[in-house]
Amino acid sequence: MTDDRARDLPLDAHLHTDQSPDSDVPIDAYAALAVERGIAELAITDHVDFDARDPAYEYTTFADRERVVRDAAERWAAHGVEVRFGVELTYNRHWEADVRAHLARHRYDFTIGSVHDWPDSPYVPRRVASWVAGQSLSEIVKPYFDEVAAAAQSGLFDTIAHFDVVKRYLYPHVLPADLAAQPELVDPALRAIAESSTGLEINSSGLRHRVGEAYPSAAVVARFRELGGRRVTVGSDGHRADWFAWRLDAAYAAAGAAGFESVMFRRGEAPISVAVPVRFRKPVSAPAQPA
Ligand SMILES: [Zn+2]
Ligand SMILES: [Zn+2]
């Protein structure tokens, strides 16, 4: 059972404010909720897009976003909440060079790389039905997961967001259970994330979407660990105040059940670990007592 008012969560590492085109939450609203919920740390990760057809293309400037987040960080530190300056960058191999140039010029505390339904992709709503018709599941999801693997291999990001959000784009033509039945389809992208030492985000927003499960599910998080993955992050991907940390305990639970004792984060320079609350951790089996 999850508890959307859990009070022992240390970090929400994926949040959108009114500096994203699809959110109208003032940054202080999240910080106030964090105080109320005892969540010590937040990463504000507004969208930056690189295709002029995407909504967050030049929506704000780096300077404006940095000023708003750093000012809020100063205001809220005294209340026991650390506000970090992150970003969610929409990745595609077509504009990888632009992402690289952006990150070379601008310094963030924490970077999320995301594959969304890019404008020429088969995953935009008007193309989905014809894309899935007569194709195998492997063919249907391949363009999406190929971009995810490339995002990891680019080495540009601390974490890869909402690993299998393609299940949202394909719903209801493809159901989460269809993907779960063929776990080998996601292995190459999971391996690319593990081998590049990138984090795998466990994004609880899927629990409020029709797919009804996190991006990715707990089973995929466990598979990631089996494949050598050692870094996970957690985020609610809030775009509204009432989505703040929403069912984020389920993300911590998935991390703990897979054997992760901490989540990976960054506060500027080197990666740091944030402990998963003990109640979510996998019980260590006690050594057998001599008779
Ligand atoms: Zn996203
Ligand atoms: Zn997001």
How confident is the model at residue 3, as a pLDDT? 64
Using a CB cutoff of 5 Å, list residues around ligand 2, an ion: 88, 237
Distance between Cα 143 and ligand 2 center (Å): 20
The structure's pTM equals 0.95
Using pLDDT thresholds of 50, 70 and 90, give the confidence band for residue 2: low
Distance between Cα 12 and ligand 2 center (Å): 12
Assess whether pLDDT exceeds 60 at residue 78.
yes
User: Distance between CA 195 and CA 273 in Å, rounded?
Assistant: 19
Distance between Cα 202 and ligand 2 center (Å): 12
Distance between Cα 88 and ligand 1 center (Å): 7
Assess whether pLDDT exceeds 70 at residue 61.
yes
Using pLDDT thresholds of 50, 70 and 90, give the confidence band for residue 238: very high
| Average pLDDT, integer, range 201-223 | 97
How confident is the model at residue 50, as a pLDDT? 97
203 backbone φψ class: left, alpha, beta (φ>0; ψ -120 to 50): beta
Distance between Cα 286 and ligand 1 center (Å): 41
Assess whether pLDDT exceeds 80 at residue 291.
no
Distance of CA 137 to the CA centre of its chain: 24
How confident is the model at residue 173, as a pLDDT? 97
How confident is the model at residue 286, as a pLDDT? 62
End-to-end CA distance of the chain: 37
Using pLDDT thresholds of 50, 70 and 90, give the confidence band for residue 290: low
Distance between Cα 174 and ligand 1 center (Å): 20
How confident is the model at residue 43, as a pLDDT? 98
Assess whether pLDDT exceeds 60 at residue 230.
yes
Distance between Cα 291 and ligand 1 center (Å): 55
Contacts of residues 59-67 at CB distance under 8 Å and 24 or more positions apart, as own/partner, are: 59/19, 59/20, 59/21, 60/19, 62/105, 62/106, 64/19, 65/19
Using pLDDT thresholds of 50, 70 and 90, give the confidence band for residue 120: very high
Model confidence over 21-59: pLDDT tens digits?
999 999 999 999 999 999 999 999 999 999 999 999 999
Q: Which ligand is nearest to the CA of 165?
A: 1
Assess whether pLDDT exceeds 80 at residue 163.
yes
How confident is the model at residue 282, as a pLDDT? 84
